[in-house]
Amino acid sequence: MSRLVVVSNRVGPLKDTGRAGGLAVALVDALTQAGGIWFGWSGEISEEGTFGNVRRVGSRKVLLATLDMTQADYDAFYVGYANKTLWPVFHYRLDLAVFDRHAEEGYLRVNDRFAARLRSLLRSDDVIWAHDYHFLPFAASLRAMEVENPIGFFLHIPFPAPEVLAALPNAAQMVRRMLAYDVIGFQSRRDAANFRRFAVEEIGAREADNGDLLLGSRRTVVRAFPIGIDAEGFARQATTPDARRHTRRTEKLLAGRQQIIGVDRIDYSKGLPERFRAFGRLLEDYPENRGRISLMQVAPPSRAELDAYAEIRRELEALTGNINGRFADLDWTPIRYMTRSFTRRALAGLYRASRVALVTPLRDGMNLVAKEYVAAQRAEDPGVVVLSRFAGAAEEMSEALIVNPHSAEEVAANLQTALTMPLDERRDRWQALFDRICENDAASWAQAFLAALNNQGNGQEEKEAS
């Protein structure tokens, strides 16, 4: 059996720390089964950076191999090109994107150096699986070093419409580099279709009947592999003593009122200001909810060093103050906004205490919060998901109430529907969602991707042999 080599910006943890998400769990499972290496950035900045030694920890079967970055690498690759260029462009925010040639060069340089370091660890029959927008050109870097192993890539964030991507300088070269992968997986069918159309229209790739892309002598499998969570594991977390404590504390505080919950990193893609305004609109348009419904928004800060993120934070604080000032009463605060972080168990308990999950990103690759909320519910009295049509999860979760997050009226009307939904309907919708989330979980996602990669790896070899 071939070893698996996982490549991602951040590596680990190998053990479920109670904070690790389904992704880490699924990858560790896949790595443990096949044996292999998890390769990426150490999270450390050092002078030697990508030129330095690869640090290895872990068991005989699964090795964590990490490299530092220099300050210049970190600024150009991570803060610069990945987070100030690719992240906004891929989330349809050209207005926030910074186009800087030096950042792009740094991004390509770091990919080359990571590839060179990985090459020294590779065996000829290893299967390589790279993750996310930090590594779009990683296979091209490896191929230039004559690495012929099967290499797959999964994009965790959206892939934008070609009209949007075209604004990225050198987008065509980047997509051409991506076609050095044997398999490219996307979160949704829409993302896969966007990629195919760009490749066909802008670089002259040919689309096969099954959706594969052909360019020169290479064939790349292009497909949606919607990522899942460890649904049964998360459901179990919701019944741990720690989770129950959080459910009870919240319910006690609510004293018979209902709660809507939102859980998101603070990011402009998450539609948080729009969400707060929609909640204000609910109180405005359906005044019977005043004094009875509150919004709990859990929003840990991320990428605080970027201006766009500091700005959204200020906006949220102002909006919270505004709405609370306007509607609050002696014994009721409309919005409870918390920027702290919770353990997964505590979070599961909070989901369980909430009648509605409000998941309204303006763009999101998948959105795992929607799935976690479903997994954490009580079968006998489950809550309702109000979900943005622009989250990848909407393709799979049609029993949620699907909304346009830009329309405060529409979101408020759907919140009202969710809050007044009869128990039977809540159960029916929840059961369908829960069954699907258990079936398409993190483990089956990893298996499906690796099956496609192993298959295609063999196909490419046969073609070369003939």
Residues assigned a catalytic role: 156, 364
Which of 5, 31, 358, 368 touches ligand ADP (CB under 6 A)? 368
> Least distance from C-beta 438 to ligand ADP, angstroms?
17
The reply to whether 21 sits near ligand ADP by the rule CB under 6 A is yes
Taking contact as CB under 6 A, which single stretch among the options 188-196, 248-256, 340-348, 379-387 is the one that binds ligand ADP? 340-348
Distance (Å, whole) CA 149 – CA 329: 64
CA angle centred on 100, ends 95 and 106, rounded to 5°: 130
Taking contact as CB under 6 A, which single stretch among the options 28-36, 129-137, 238-246, 361-369 is the one that binds ligand ADP? 361-369
Residues between 393 and 412 that touch ligand ADP (CB under 6 A) = none
Sign of CA dihedral 39, 365, 396, 368: positive
List, in order, residues 6 or more apart from 275 with CB less than 8 Å away.
Answer: 262, 297, 358, 360, 405, 411
User: Which residues on neighbouring strands pair with residue 293, listed in sequence order?
Assistant: 258
Separate counts of helices (H) and strands (E) for the chain? 17, 16
Taking the CB of residue 98, how many other CB atoms lie within 10 A of it?
14
Taking contact as CB under 6 A, which single stretch among the options 171-179, 205-213, 341-349, 442-450 is the one that binds ligand ADP? 341-349
> By C-beta, is 70 or 377 nearer to ligand ADP?
377
Which of 167, 300, 420, 451 touches ligand ADP (CB under 6 A)? 300
Q: Is 263 helix (H, G, I), strand (E, B) or coil?
A: strand
Which of 8, 367, 440, 454 touches ligand ADP (CB under 6 A)? 367
Taking contact as CB under 6 A, which single stretch among the options 364-372, 406-414, 419-427, 458-466 is the one that binds ligand ADP? 364-372
- Residues touching ligand ADP: how many (CB under 6 A)? 13
List, in order, residues 6 or more apart from 461 with CB less than 8 Å away.
Answer: none
- What is the Cα gyration radius of the chain? 23
CA angle centred on 400, ends 16 and 348, rounded to 5°: 30
Burial status of residue 172 (CB atoms within 10 A of its CB: 0-12, 13-18, 19 or more): middle
Residues between 370 and 389 that touch ligand ADP (CB under 6 A) = 372
> Least distance from C-beta 22 to ligand ADP, angstroms?
7
> Least distance from C-beta 300 to ligand ADP, angstroms?
4
Which of 347, 350, 358, 375 touches ligand ADP (CB under 6 A)? 347
Which of 25, 76, 142, 369 touches ligand ADP (CB under 6 A)? 369
Residues that bind ligand ADP (CB under 6 A): 21, 263, 265, 298, 300, 341-342, 347, 366-369, 372
